[in-house]
Amino acid sequence: MRTWGHPHQPLVVAATEGPSGPARPERREFQVESEDVGDRLDRWLSRQVPEHSRSAFRRFIDEGRITICGNSCRASHRIQLTDRVSFDPPPIPSPIPLPEDHQLQVLHQDDDIIVISKEAGMIVHPAPGAPPEATLVNALLGHSDQLSSVGEAGRPGIVHRLDRETSGVMVIARTDLAHKELARQFHDREIAKEYLALSHGIPTTLSGEIDLPLARSLTDPRKRVVRHEQGARESYTAWKQIRTIGKDSMKGICWFHCFPRTGRTHQIRVHLRAIGHPILCDFHYGRETKLDLSRWVPAAPDAPLQRHALHAWRLHLRHPSSHQSMHFEAPLPEDLVPWWESATAVQDGE
């Protein structure tokens, strides 16, 4: 079995020209090796071309972009040694995001910054190979014609990020000077962030500290893992439990108040899993993709949870121009409110 860093090389590469001249993505063909026989087509393809997810390949199969020996196929197809798999990648989208009319929950706005509460499910900025639409950047461009131009192309105003399914508070730079100053504060760890996470299990202590280095997974480039070796990055999260549902340390669930001192990708999600408390409905690091509050509180109203239960609750910074200390809090979104209200505050909690 090959790791993600060693995909099959294409047997045939065919470049095609668009009507205006620029080359379209190259067609790729792969041949199955004996060690991969019997694997699902969508899973196998996601290993051969790790820049696309398994769900993306299911979509490509539905669109007819994947064929086996020239014939259409299904994602569930079990690959055989004689299969010759062809992949016609989708056109490379324009890297320039356009303004979109999307209602933003604005917590604060002035000439230098915009502070918003990002909704769960919204990507912060266009990703390579994905359409530059329906992202926070598109919504910001529709909200304001004044955003900083510092940083990577196609990401105006973006100083920091939240994962797609994470809701909560973010600060956006409106000027280049504000962007540089906020970036400095993040780099120097002068900006304090607080999160709420709803996780499996109840700790035996009321608070704790997690000091575990993180690195990219060797088998899945989208994931991070705890790894004690050269190249791993120091990562530190303090936490305390503030509310619980149930009393059983194994079967109950707990609201964690997290204070990440570093800002690594997926840090809180990986750290809580590492100490035995994976976040509810975390499809990368948890146990399930959907839960309902009635599992713990039979009399509770319908409260389906279909995204990881992580919320960027508070942000503490200094205004980039006035240097005044500022504190922002994003209210819990509707899907998390019933879970909060059904929980019982613990001793010394908030």
Flag whether 6 is in a domain: no
Q: Residue 87 in contact with residue 60, Cβ under 8 Å?
A: yes
Q: Are residues 128 and 275 in the same domain?
A: no
Q: Are residues 307 and 199 in the same domain?
A: yes
What's the CA gap between 159 and 143, in Å, rounded?
Answer: 17
Q: Are residues 81 and 170 in the same domain?
A: no
**Residue carrying structure tokens 């919204």:** 122
Final residue of a structural domain among 136, 156, 188:
188
What's the CA gap between 239 and 221, in Å, rounded?
Answer: 27
CA-to-CA separations, 162 to 151, 168, 184, 260, 310, in angstroms, rounded: 17, 8, 18, 13, 10
What's the CA gap between 347 and 350, in Å, rounded?
Answer: 9
Q: Burial level of 24, CB count in 10 A (0-12/13-18/19+)?
A: middle
pTM, to two decimals: 0.75
At 31, which CATH number?
Answer: 3.10.290.10
Q: Are residues 281 and 302 in the same domain?
A: yes
Is 348 tagged catalytic? no
Flag whether 228 is in a domain: yes
Flag whether 271 is in a domain: yes
Helix (H, G, I), strand (E, B) or coil at 210: strand
Q: Are residues 18 and 164 in the same domain?
A: no
Q: Residue 309 in contact with residue 339, Cβ under 8 Å?
A: yes
Final residue of a structural domain among 143, 167, 188:
188
Q: Are residues 61 and 136 in the same domain?
A: no
At residue 150, what is the residue type? V
Q: Are residues 134 and 265 in the same domain?
A: no
- The per-residue pLDDT for 95 is 66
Q: Are residues 252 and 323 in the same domain?
A: yes
Question: How many Cβ atoms sit within 10 Å of the Cβ of residue 256?
Answer: 25
Which strand (E) or helix (H) includes residue 315? strand 310-318
Q: Return the closest-CA partner of residue 191 out of 200, 183, 201, 203.
A: 183
Q: Are residues 67 and 19 in the same domain?
A: yes
Angle at CA of residue 226, ends 123 and 127, nearest 5°: 20
- The torsion angle over the Cα atoms of residues 58, 60, 64 and 65, rounded to 10 degrees, is -130
Q: Are residues 203 and 311 in the same domain?
A: yes
Domain count for the chain? 3
- The per-residue pLDDT for 18 is 43
Flag whether 4 is in a domain: no
Flag whether 2 is in a domain: no
pLDDT average per 10 residues of sequence, the chain (350 residues): 33 39 70 91 91 88 93 94 92 78 97 98 82 90 95 89 97 98 97 98 97 92 90 95 94 98 97 98 94 94 95 98 98 98 81
Q: Are residues 147 and 253 in the same domain?
A: no
- Domain of 243 in residue numbering reads as 190-350
Flag whether 126 is in a domain: yes
Q: Are residues 167 and 231 in the same domain?
A: no
Flag whether 142 is in a domain: yes
Q: Residue 175 in contact with residue 111, Cβ under 8 Å?
A: yes
At 253, which CATH number?
Answer: 3.30.2350.10
Final residue of a structural domain among 57, 87, 117:
87
**Catalytic residue (one of 88, 112, 163, 282):** 163
Q: What is the DSSP string of 116-168?
A: EEEPTT-BSSPPTTS-S-SBHHHHHHHH-S-----SSTT-TTBSS---TT-EE
Structure token pair of residue 215: 């690195």
Flag whether 3 is in a domain: no
